[in-house]
Amino acid sequence: MNESVQITPEERLANLVDALAAFESKGCSIEQGYGEATMVVPRDQLLEVATELRDGEAFLFEEMVDLCGVDYSAYGKVEWETDSASTTGFGRGVQGEGELDVAAEERFAVVYHLLSVEHNVRLRLRVFADTEQPIVKSVMGIWRTADWFEREAFDLYGIMFENHPDLRRILTDYGFVGHPFRKDFPLSGHVEMRYDPEQKRLVYEPVSIEPRTLVPRVIREDNRYLREESN
């Protein structure tokens, strides 16, 4: 009896990365690290590339297991800097808005997680959307599971999906203002809701919460915590 050849996960990933090189002519770039592969796809090439990833014999990514939005405006910044945060606190919680240090075409992105059962391998796609008009084409015609995922990204990040048949909010309440997962959205929100017993209905009012400056743990120089120098 001939035993089947066992392919290691590292070899499967290497084969995938080699096959993905064919998309570089379409402006795609491939990143590899931590046992994963990520391909950045120009948004005007998304549908063509996604279709080939689903149908191509070298890929066969028949399942899209997840889709999410990302706001990179505060990427790489940490508000828990122990040496400098004692006087500034949580800027986002207090100020709510601020200048963005990221290019307009690189603030918002849609990330797709694909699975090939045939080849037992996964792939992450990243597509950037413009800040002023964050619009990406819907992939529902390729992976039907994108339906509610795209609605979620629209609701939380304000990313529009062109040709989606029913692009409505899916998690926030009726009348919600803004998109809560954007980095410039205030932690306290814009409006608050309560039940008015006199009007016998829900009413929306401006937020009454006063923003607080929360100070994280701060490392300070203190002789009590210094080791005694040996004589």
CATH of the domain at 19: 3.30.460.80
Q: 159 CB contacts (<8 Å, ≥6 apart)?
A: 69, 108, 110, 129, 134, 135, 136, 153
pLDDT above 80 (res 103):
no
Q: Does residue 155 lie in a domain region?
A: yes
Q: Does residue 132 lie in a domain region?
A: yes
Q: Does residue 177 lie in a domain region?
A: no
Q: Does residue 87 lie in a domain region?
A: no
175 pLDDT band, cuts 50/70/90, is: confident
Q: Does residue 230 lie in a domain region?
A: no
- List the beta bridge partners of residue 64: 114
Lowest-pLDDT range, 79-93, 148-162, 201-215?
A: 79-93
E runs forming strands in the chain: 29-33, 36-40, 63-71, 108-116, 121-129, 135-137, 160-162, 191-196, 201-206
Number of domain units in the chain: 1
Q: Does residue 216 lie in a domain region?
A: no
φ/ψ of 54, rounded to 5, equals -80, -40
Q: 224 CB contacts (<8 Å, ≥6 apart)?
A: none
Per-residue pLDDT reduced to its tens digit, 12-21 = 999 999 999 9
DSSP letter assigned to residue 192: E
Per-residue pLDDT reduced to its tens digit, 137-161 = 999 999 999 999 999 999 999 999 9
Residue 152 to residue 171: CA distance in whole angstroms:
7
pLDDT of residue 207: 83
DSSP letter assigned to residue 178: S
Task: Give the residue numbers spanning the domain of 154.
Answer: 9-78+101-172
Q: Does residue 60 lie in a domain region?
A: yes
Q: Does residue 179 lie in a domain region?
A: no
